[in-house]
Amino acid sequence: MKYFAIIGVWFVALVGDGIILPALTGLPSGFGIIVLLSIMAVVFGVHRWVIGLGMILAGMTELIIGTYFGTIIGAWLVMAWGWYFLNQFLNIKSINKNNFLMAFVPVTLLGLGLFVFGEGVLWIIIRFVYESGLSTITLINILCSPAIFSIVAIELAVTLFIFRFIYLSRNA
């Protein structure tokens, strides 16, 4: 059941971020998968099944939206590795175990930080493997755009709320 819910959220994020959101706002698409992977790491932690499912979803997204092969998968693996090491040094696991409303803002901010890290890694992979002429201005425009940052924050908050609602109601 857990996998079907995550795949359903992935499909909704793929359609919403790839079709609906660009049509309504005129902003570029493609941030939804990094948002979903960030929230998966923050909510569920870095476990074998999370990494495997993330690789499958990242690979399917690469095939569907037509990005360079291995960019999203590589970014996901580096994000999971970074999140694992961050959890080794900080006590982030206790944030997830607290009350949902008290942990909502810190977990969303951690998801935003992981998203920024993932976008940076994605840019590095594309820059050094596929497009050597890719400018740093591209990454700066993505990370400094208030519109993109607010849409990503809203996507993070909604995805976090959905995952917390599905999994906390079953555990309660």
Q: Report the candidate in 86, 61, 56, 79 with the shortest Cα–Cα distance to residue 125.
A: 79
Residue 132 phi/psi, 5-degree rounding, is -70, -15
Q: Return d(Cα 153, Cα 162) in angstroms, integer.
A: 14
Q: Return d(Cα 158, Cα 108) in angstroms, integer.
A: 10
| Mean pLDDT of each 10-residue bin along the chain, 172 residues long | 79 80 70 84 85 91 85 91 84 58 73 87 89 84 82 82 70 44
Three-state secondary structure call for residue 132 = coil
Contact 46, 83 (CB under 8 A): yes
Count: domains in the chain: 1
Residues in contact with 156: Cβ distance below 8 Å, sequence separation at least 6, in sequence order: 35, 38, 39, 108, 111, 112, 115
pLDDT of amino acid 172: 41
| Residue 114 vs residues 85, 122, 124: alpha-carbon distances, Å | 12, 12, 15
Query: Which residues form the domain of 135?
Result: 2-171
pLDDT of amino acid 21: 73
Encoded tokens for 138: 């591209």
Contact 123, 138 (CB under 8 A): yes
pLDDT tens digit sequence for 118-157: 889 988 998 898 888 888 888 888 888 888 788 888 888 8
What pTM was computed for the model? 0.82
pLDDT of amino acid 171: 47
∠ CA 167-46-69, nearest 5°, is 110
